[in-house]
Structure 1
Amino acid sequence: MSRPAVKLNAFPIFMRVENRPVIVVGGGEEALAKARLLTQSSAELAIVADNPTESLAEWAAENGVHVVREAYDAAHLAGAALVFAASGEEALDRLAAADARAAGIPVNAVDRPELCDFFTPALVNRAPVAVAIGTEGAGPVLAQMIRARIEQLLPLSLGRLARLAVSYRGIVERVLSKGAVRRRFWKEFFAGAPARAIEAGDEERAARAAADLIRRQGLASGHVALVGAGPGAEDLLTLRAQRLLMEADTIVYDALVPEAVVAMGRRDAERIAAGKRKGCHSKSQAEINTLIVSLARQGKRVVRLKSGDPLIFGRAGEEMQALRDAGISHEVVPGVTAAFAAAANFALPLTLRGVASSIVFTTGHDLKGNALPDWAKLAIGGATVAVYMGRSIAAEVARHLIRAGLSPDTAVAVVENASLGHRAMFHGTLADLPSLQERAELTGPVMTIIGDAVAGADFSRSEPLAAHQPVLSVA
């Protein structure tokens, strides 16, 4: 047996206030807060206060808001669309509320829910789009928390996109058939090429995309977003990445991307594991290139989800070239790379004035030969070096750097599964680094940071590498 629906005591509506008087009674902080909110509308705002605070008077002058510097009288409410009793004085607020009600004007009394005909919502403003969150006065802080979450989800460009949509409404009604075709057009308009162009600030391109969409009867053109999933923790995903995941038809993800991040996508999105993990390549790079091109040619919105940042050891260059060659629309969304997450775990300054002024990102795989790579020379010159996937080559990295002249006492920090709650952290010196190869239990991605700046890290939550120290040979 289903539960009966809980009914709202306050029904949410949007009330027209364009060019209509709205009166705020009060001259202090409560009145100022309401006035600031109301200036997001096109109402004719007036504040009634015989002795307004200096901050309210200054704000009103800066924003062109009229302040009636008189003791409150019921006559001040004449013709008002709405009244806000915001004096902070119970007797005055009750009087203003009673006068408004007697005149048939809806009234809100700040912090006095028993006097309110309506409640002021927490507002997400993307004019002409607005989202209002209300709790019937029970939890204003909760309403603000919900508002903050919604603010993250809605791009600032949404209002411009909605205004552009208004200009196409007439032609869509004339040219496109009712029902599925129009719905398909508007869905692609608000989530496809026109939306991407508006977000990029290119209204001419958005108009061209909308016109093309009309010609194609609302049929979508494919698009691929190469999205950085960050180092692992889902709350390090960017807001743009999260929006694209919610819009994606298909998510193609690498093995190092945690399920919790993949799960942030739309529930009905197709999910394809692309592999690409050391020793476990389920798909070749050529197969991945072919896959994302094929999906886009089917008109799908594709998110190619890559660990960390797509442009750092993510082979994004090959995928972007394949998309360019195929003429597929695409974009890149940066992500937090593992080096930054590892540094944050250690509270480690990657650059430090007077110690290290440059950073090197490397996989270390170019140390297989006898020649010393350029990045190693930079390390000797004082740069901080971040080595990705460094466990299997730890001894080789240490051997080459010490042989080239870097002090064996140079500080080293190591993190497995950077940013995640189950991360493992180690610290020591370059001479200790070979012990990392002996730690077969470290099956997650390992990040190694080397340099004098590492000495300034917080090692209180890490284990000394020297606890598993093999003999290092530099011969």
Structure 2
Amino acid sequence: MDYFPFFFDLKGRSLLLVGGGDVGLRKARLLVRAGARIALVSHEVDPELKELLEAHQGEWLASDYSAELLEGRVLVVAATDDQALNEQIHADCIARNLPVNVVDNPPLCTFIFPAIVDRSPLVIGITSSGKAPVLARLLRAKLETWIPTRYSDLGQLAARFRDAVKTRFSNINQRRKFWESTFQGTVAERVFNGQMEEAERLLQEQLDASDSQEQVGEVYLVGAGPGDPELLTFKALRLMQQADVVLYDRLVSKEVLDLCRRDAKMIYVGKKRDNHAVPQPDINRLLVEQAKAGHRVVRLKGGDPFVFGRGGEELEELKTAGVPFQVVPGITAANACSAYAGIPLTHRDYAQSVKMITGQLKNRTSELNFAEMIHPNQTLVFYMGLHTLELLVQGLLEHGKPTDTRIAIVSQGSTPEQRVLTGTLVDILAQQEKAQLPAPAIIIVGEVVELQPQLVWFNTSD
């Protein structure tokens, strides 16, 4: 490696910063966050940098640089555009074995500033050894999105319990196992949800109980979105990658399943019309059983679990059984499929409201209130309605919906297999009879469908 990644404790320590411009300001912002006391050498100083020094017990030396100013410093930063001065500062520091950084000049640096992900006490430094700083910053941006800010709270909670855990477990392997369980279990989830008092209570309970009794697991009801794995939320992905058991349905794409923890137990509980692999009561029972066995269980549902996903029924069962749970919303098919098909659900000139309706009719009888669906300036979105398409069209027409009302079928939306069929209420049945678009599909009815040819951007075919 080009540089060894040390982490300096700068709290209350004095360092020298040469250069009072914008570059010096950027470095000073980082250094004061670590508690450093800055002595600035510059005839002129950026107003914000001056305020920063005053707020953090720094000092401004309005003079030329001299080697005597290095006395008592723990490190030096040169932020000037004077090459001769930078070389002099470097030489003086080398003679005194002082760490020195000359900004944007790696040959004159004995240490460099990393791109930092700050979740104190957890701190991640990323460096390209001065060769590609933009690349390091881009990687930092990715890590910032992957690591929740509440990791800081989790680290601080662990610090408060560190001595108690060392006292309880004399064996290092026991301590490691305890902390791994804590950082990947219910305690961590409480922290990530901002429930600090509850997290601390649970951690104390687990410490008191140690491994003398079985712990109840937790169920995460996770919306997997419509198929495109890039539409998953960060929280969904995090829980999927730490689950011990995953129960998934038919609408969850293979690409999304591939993002689950590799060694998780995968249980298929999908449902198809007239063919339920696992009936809903058995799914409810499975969730309770797996959680009671101490597992972290992800119930992975296509779309959003609370939009025609029967998530509420499953949570009722978990609540009755005393199993803790969380709900992670997903991007529902109405939002994703309409966007990928180029059909805005609302538009100032076409529709001011949206109605989402299930086309999966109970006992094969119509329970739909078609009278509410014929109003103009609204968009209708039917879920699971492909097999009842004829009934839906007839109901709309019989209740007065104009025959030229636009309608679209979006099949396998947001996936590479997506297909879109558009027409009117009087010709869509014949078009579908010929095209045979497969389920899963949503049906969109309304004037907004007129915009599809000009707004489509995703790879679709008619």
Deviation at 1:56, TM superposition (A): 4.6
Deviation digits for residues 47-75 of structure 1 (CA, Å, limit 9, x no counterpart): 33322345655666677765443333333
CA separation of 1:266 and 1:48: change in aligned 2, threshold 3 A: farther
Match of residue 45, structure 1, among 38, 57, 72: 38
Partner residue, 1:307: 302
2:288 maps to 1:293: yes
CA separation of 1:103 and 1:337: change in aligned 2, threshold 3 A: same
Deviation at 1:44, TM superposition (A): 1.7
For residues 343 and 15 of structure 2, the distance between their equivalents in structure 1, rounded to whole angstroms, comes to 54
Deviation at 1:123, TM superposition (A): 0.8
Secondary structure in structure 1 of the residue aligned to 2:318: helix
Contact 1:394–1:433 under 8 Å retained in 2:
no
Partner residue, 2:407: 412
For residues 419 and 379 of structure 1, the distance between their equivalents in structure 2, rounded to whole angstroms, comes to 28
Contact 2:343–2:455 under 8 Å retained in 1:
no
AA matched with 2:393: A
Partner residue, 2:276: 281
AA matched with 1:293: V
Partner residue, 1:150: 143
Match of residue 324, structure 1, among 319, 323, 326: 319
For structure 1, which segment, 234-243 or 170-179, has the greater mean C-alpha deviation from structure 2 after superposition? 170-179
Secondary structure in structure 2 of the residue aligned to 1:13: coil
Partner residue, 1:101: 94
2:238 maps to 1:243: yes
Map 1:213-228; keep pairs closer than 5 Å.
213-218=206-211, 220-228=215-223
Secondary structure in structure 1 of the residue aligned to 2:276: coil
For residues 277 and 145 of structure 1, the distance between their equivalents in structure 2, rounded to whole angstroms, comes to 43
Deviation at 1:433, TM superposition (A): 2.6
Partner residue, 1:254: 249
Secondary structure in structure 2 of the residue aligned to 1:386: strand
CA separation of 1:325 and 1:52: change in aligned 2, threshold 3 A: same
For structure 1, which segment, 34-43 or 430-439, has the greater mean C-alpha deviation from structure 2 after superposition? 430-439
For residues 149 and 417 of structure 2, the distance between their equivalents in structure 1, rounded to whole angstroms, comes to 36
For residues 336 and 292 of structure 1, the distance between their equivalents in structure 2, rounded to whole angstroms, comes to 23
Match of residue 387, structure 1, among 382, 393, 396: 382
Contact 2:248–2:269 under 8 Å retained in 1:
yes
Contact 1:257–1:307 under 8 Å retained in 2:
yes
For structure 1, which segment, 172-181 or 106-115, has the greater mean C-alpha deviation from structure 2 after superposition? 172-181
AA matched with 1:82: L
Contact 2:28–2:49 under 8 Å retained in 1:
no
Contact 1:192–1:220 under 8 Å retained in 2:
no
Deviation digits for residues 167-197 of structure 1 (CA, Å, limit 9, x no counterpart): 1122222223524433332112212222122
Match of residue 182, structure 2, among 183, 189, 214: 189
Match of residue 19, structure 2, among 1, 23, 26: 26
Contact 1:24–1:47 under 8 Å retained in 2:
yes
Secondary structure in structure 2 of the residue aligned to 1:45: strand
Secondary structure in structure 2 of the residue aligned to 1:380: coil
Contact 2:386–2:439 under 8 Å retained in 1:
no
CA separation of 1:11 and 1:306: change in aligned 2, threshold 3 A: same
Secondary structure in structure 1 of the residue aligned to 2:277: coil
AA matched with 1:243: R
Contact 1:228–1:336 under 8 Å retained in 2:
yes
Deviation at 1:264, TM superposition (A): 1.1
Deviation at 1:393, TM superposition (A): 2.1
Partner residue, 2:171: 178
Deviation digits for residues 107-129 of structure 1 (CA, Å, limit 9, x no counterpart): 11221111111221111100010
TM-score (norm 1): 0.88
Match of residue 230, structure 1, among 225, 229, 234: 225
TM-score (norm 2): 0.91
Contact 1:415–1:425 under 8 Å retained in 2:
yes
CA separation of 1:81 and 1:277: change in aligned 2, threshold 3 A: farther
Deviation digits for residues 340-384 of structure 1 (CA, Å, limit 9, x no counterpart): 11222134332223542221111223496466516x514524321
> How many residues get paired?
457
Partner residue, 1:424: 419
For residues 220 and 183 of structure 1, the distance between their equivalents in structure 2, rounded to whole angstroms, comes to 17
Secondary structure in structure 2 of the residue aligned to 1:267: coil
Partner residue, 1:73: 66
Secondary structure in structure 2 of the residue aligned to 1:392: helix
Deviation at 1:396, TM superposition (A): 2.1
2:257 maps to 1:268: no
Contact 1:361–1:388 under 8 Å retained in 2:
yes
Deviation at 1:35, TM superposition (A): 2.2
- Pairwise CA RMSD of aligned residues? 2.6
CA separation of 1:59 and 1:408: change in aligned 2, threshold 3 A: farther
Partner residue, 1:373: 369
For residues 204 and 13 of structure 1, the distance between their equivalents in structure 2, rounded to whole angstroms, comes to 34
Q: Which runs of 5+ in 2 are unaligned?
A: none
Deviation at 1:223, TM superposition (A): 0.5
